[in-house]
Amino acid sequence: MSEGPEDKSIELTTDYADHTINMKFSDNLTDDRERGYILSAAFFSFCAARGLDKQAVIEMVSSHYDQFTGDNGSSLFKRL
């Protein structure tokens, strides 16, 4: 009988002095697609728990997406 999949984790911390969100992935979490899936699931779960409707989530992503993907060095992802 085979064992189930290994548990994996992502730890998020903030550093307000540096204006960063830091992510620490468990050693067995190396696939970027899997990381994205876990982070996306956590985001949508948070939104649902807060009672945000689909349109509010769409507007939030639309309004702030460039902060994460900008090419001018200010991208939040580039600082991680």
- In the chain, count of helices (H) and strands (E)? 2, 2
pTM: 0.64
pLDDT digits 0-9 by tens, 7-17: 999 999 998 99
pLDDT digits 0-9 by tens, 56-68: 999 988 887 777 7
